[in-house]
Amino acid sequence: MNISEFKKIIYYAIIPAFIAGIFTVAPKLYDEITEPKATLSYQITKGPILVENNIQKTIYAINIKNDGKKPLTGISSIINTKNSIEAITIYEHTGLNPKVNKDKQPYSVSVETLHPKEFFSISLMVVANNTEPKIEFILRSKETLGFVEEITNKTQSIDFLSALAAALSVFAMALYFLVRLKSGKIVPYIFNDKTDIIYYLLVKLELLDIVELYRTNDDDITFRRLGDILFAKANSNDAEKKKNAILGLKSLLLINNIAESSKKLIVRNIKILEENDYSQDEIDLIKSKSEKISNEIELRDLIDDYVKNSHNFIERHT
């Protein structure tokens, strides 16, 4: 093969094949370079640990965000813990409608589609005995695995609304945590006193079935709800139970901390039950002698005095 023939092979075979290869590969290479990147990140914020006896509680706020330029589908998060999760709340503002599975552990939260810059937040209340409450969090979508974004001074790329969502979630869970009034749970001092004085009143009146009702339902105690339960109890055919239930309703008015709206409902129940025997002067007198829950000894003395002999109580203070 001489040089002339070799040049012909280069010109008419190799170069066209090379050019054809470039045109074939270039579009795919361009698509690969310019294709939006799938990015799924999350941040975990842990609140302070509250300790009561051997029980420790804390709140975790998890902010999940699509940081990329590509919509993500089939987002799924798994929450593992050796402790117990008492409550889960979700915050989102774009109609994502996250689905929460909390029937059994591990709990999961899933979203069908998360568009670029969209986010949602998960808040958890975690409870542990004799140990620090901890969780393990796994996040993925059909396109990519989620990665944890450490919260440092350099992570300024989080938009204000995303950060606000996590803060609101923590605040909402903390508020929920503070107003829980379950038996054996950690609650603020004033609410423990509230629970204690209600139980003391019920035991004093021998309304043990109501005490058992609260224990069985593990329910929140409110003065208004207790007033309605006592009202129902007073409609019993048992005269002694009716008398004690009415005494209970009136004794509630000795508690100064009850909201005015609840007091009005309690007085309404007393009016219905006593009918012609109802005395507004007696109700006003009882209210005037009321004590704050924080004055525990004085309040219990008042309840003892009134329950023991309500007529003598009224006459002594008239």
54-65 per-position pLDDT tens digit? 788 888 888 899
- CA neighbor of 201 nearest in space, from 118, 306, 82, 84: 306
pLDDT of residue 172: 56
Q: Let me know if residue 280 belongs to a domain.
A: yes
How many angstroms separate the CA atoms of 168 and 164, rounded? Answer: 6
**Does residue 228 sit in the same domain as residue 171?**
no
Whether 138 has a pLDDT exceeding 60, the answer reads: yes
Give the residue from 179, 206, 234 where a domain finishes.
179
Is residue 282 helix, strand or coil? helix
Whether 130 and 172 share a structural domain: yes
Q: Report the alpha-carbon distance of residue 245 to residue 270 in Å, rounded.
A: 10
Q: How many domains does the chain have?
A: 2
Span of 119-123, 185-189, 284-288 with lowest mean pLDDT:
185-189
pLDDT digits (tens, 9 = 90+) for 5-42: 555 555 555 666 666 666 565 555 555 555 567 889 99
pLDDT for residue 305 is more than 80 = yes
Q: Which of 179, 201, 225 is the last residue of a domain?
A: 179
Residue 291 has pLDDT above 80, yes or no: yes
2: in domain: no
Q: What is the pLDDT of residues 237-267, one digit of tens each?
A: 778 878 888 898 999 999 887 888 888 999 9
Average confidence score pLDDT of the chain: 76
Q: Find the mean pLDDT for residues 166-179.
A: 54
Judgement on whether residues 246 and 164 belong to the same structural domain of the protein = no
Q: Is the pLDDT of residue 46 over 90?
A: no
Asked, for residue 134, whether it belongs to a domain, the answer is yes
Where would I find the beta strands (DSSP E) of the chain?
40-46, 50-52, 55-66, 72-80, 84-91, 99-101, 107-114, 119-129, 136-140, 147-148
pTM above 0.75, yes or no: no
- Specify the range with the lowest mean pLDDT, choosing from 139-143, 162-166, 182-186, 221-225: 182-186
